[in-house]
Amino acid sequence: MTIVIDNCLPLSWVEFLREHGHSACHWRELGPPNAPDTEIMQWASRNDAVVLTQDLDFTKLLFQSRAPLPSVIQLRLDDVRPKSIGEDVLLILEQQKDNLRRGALITVKGHKSRLRLLPLGG
């Protein structure tokens, strides 16, 4: 499972995730920095990737589309650097890998997370 890091998150996520055995890339490596969120979602769906973001618009897109994929991990924190929340994200990736493969929205706030299976609104 590949993790695509949205433009709103620091590039340091790529190295952090790769160091911990995950396939990861930053959107800057894949497409234009001003690409709409829908383009990132489409790429993630086509490539069996999970989107890691801080952007709340992804929840809205998942709800509107009622799509079963891609999975999204949404960080709702002020400090979104890997050294701050990275260990929590790694734990989520391990504990929720089956749900992420099937389709899920996981919201991380503080050191707590909330799982919602996709599609939303159905």
Instruction: Quick: pLDDT tens for 43-70.
Output: 999 999 999 999 999 999 999 999 999 9
Q: Is the pLDDT of residue 87 over 70?
A: yes
Percentage of the chain exceeding pLDDT 70:
99
CA dihedral of residues 41, 56, 69, 3 (deg, nearest 10): 70
Q: Taken in order 122, 44, 51, 56, is the CA torsion positive or negative?
A: negative
**CA triple 8-13-18, angle to 5 deg:** 145
**CA triple 111-112-116, angle to 5 deg:** 145
pLDDT, position 110: 85
Q: Write the pLDDT tens digit of every residue in 8-32.
A: 999 999 999 999 999 999 999 999 9
